[in-house]
Amino acid sequence: MTYAISKADRQLKGRIALDGSKSISNRALIIRALSGQHFDVDYLSTSKDTTTLLALLQHEGEVYDTGAAGTTFRFLTAYLALQEGSQVLTGSERMKQRPIGVLVEALRQLGASIEYLEEEGYPPLRIHAPQLGDAAQLRISAGTSSQFISALLMIAPMLPRGLRLELEGTIVSRPYIEMTLALMAHFGVEHAWEGARIDVAPQRYRAKPFRVEADWSAASYHYALAALADEVELQLDGLHEQSLQGDSVLPTMMENFGIQSTFNDSGVQLRKTTAPKPFFEWDFIRCPDIAQSLAVVCAGTGVSGLFSGLDTLSIKETDRIAALKQELAKVQASFVRLPDRFAQRSDKTYYMVESQAQVDHPTFATYEAHRMAMAFAPLALRGPIRVEDPGVVVKSYPQFWNDLQQLGFTIEEIT
């Protein structure tokens, strides 16, 4: 299935109630399960990842199938490693191509009994009842997925001696680790983070009602719409200025594109006050999930963009860097890696977005990746576009296409 998407004008006016944060929802659900006590979690994300996790935490069978939900797979790997019995944890064909070895090896050092059922280092896994020993210290690359680190931290207070986690190298996606620790603290688990060392003593989670804040990652697509529109008066409900989410940097980031953010009791009001600046530079190490949106914004506005901190994008649902390059080329925009010598004494890898997008009825592939569909949709403000396999948005933002229609976009299904 393909959607044809267009808009008769470049005005963006309306009000959108954003879904709850997927990242916060999934952490809250794991913590609730580890606490052993039920408590209400309000405003849960309706994303496929979260509904899958919720169902699997109530599952009583032997096989746990996460589908394409990467966060769900990683968090369940650690959670099931502490459970009695024997379970098989599996997922989609793409999930079987996503490495899990770093997390499995760390859990084995803590006493987990995990075996690979197919290729070494990759799903699916068989997870047996643990034999928790005296190990209480791990070293793990700080450049690995923050979801591996978060998975270990959330089970840390349940271990007989707690956990001392030593992070080696440059920390990738630090805000997600900070989010995990902040949520653990909310539920009564204390920690100490000094330098590269995080200590979590044996403790119990305290059950208490919790309300999930709206998803700043979802907000990024509406900020992208605002950047590409001529007139903007858009209210996004549920967002907090003081947020746990790394993507809450958006208001500052989008000033470069003339977007003014005004927080109010309901959320944030967006208005377009100035023209975009000709150049945009950002290190996405703390907010990698919004890099695709900003690459499309740069192309759509003709702003030259210099991106770094994209270290984890190649191991997501798809290789997001390769996908960005391929799809931006369809509108005559480039996304290229710069030579290493460009970084001089820095160890960063840089990518450049250049050329004003020429939107002439392109058809964008989505690569089974939700963020590809939503990142490219705002280009419909520059001309009619088509998006293949639009249903992938259920992974994180099921109401995305409905919300676009609410804002005046025309969406037609093409078979």
| Active-site residue list | 289
Cα distance between residue 107 and residue 110, in whole Å:
5
Phi and psi at residue 389, to the nearest 5°: 50, 55
Q: Using alpha carbons, select from 128, 66, 54, 113 the residue that is nearest to residue 91.
A: 66
b/e 59-92 (16+ beta carbons within 10 angstroms → b): eeeeebbbbbbbbbbbbbbbbbbbeeeebbbbbb
Task: Give the residue carrying structure tokens 């709206």.
Answer: 214
Token pair, residue 402, equals 């409905």
Strand partners, 386: 4, 363
Helix H, strand E, coil C: the string for the chain is CEEEEECCCCEEEEEEECCECHHHHHHHHHHHHHHCCCCCEECCCCCHHHHHHHHHHCCCCCEEECCCCHHHHHHHHHHHCCCCCCEEEECCCCHHHCCCHHHHHHHHHCCCEEEECCCCCCCCEEEECCCCCCCCEEEEECCCCHHHHHHHHHHHHHCCCCEEEEEECCCCCHHHHHHHHHHHHHCCCCCEEECCEEEECCCCCCCCCEECCECHHHHHHHHHHHHHCCEEEEEEECCCCCCCCHHHHHHHHHHHHCEEEEECCCEEEEEECCCCCCEEEEEHHHCHHHHHHHHHHHHHHCCEEEEECCCCHHHCCCCHHHHHHHHHHHHCCEEEECCHHHHCCCCCCCEEEECCCCCCCCEECCCCCHHHHHHHHHHHHCCCEEEECHHHHHHCCCCHHHHHHHCCCEEEEEC
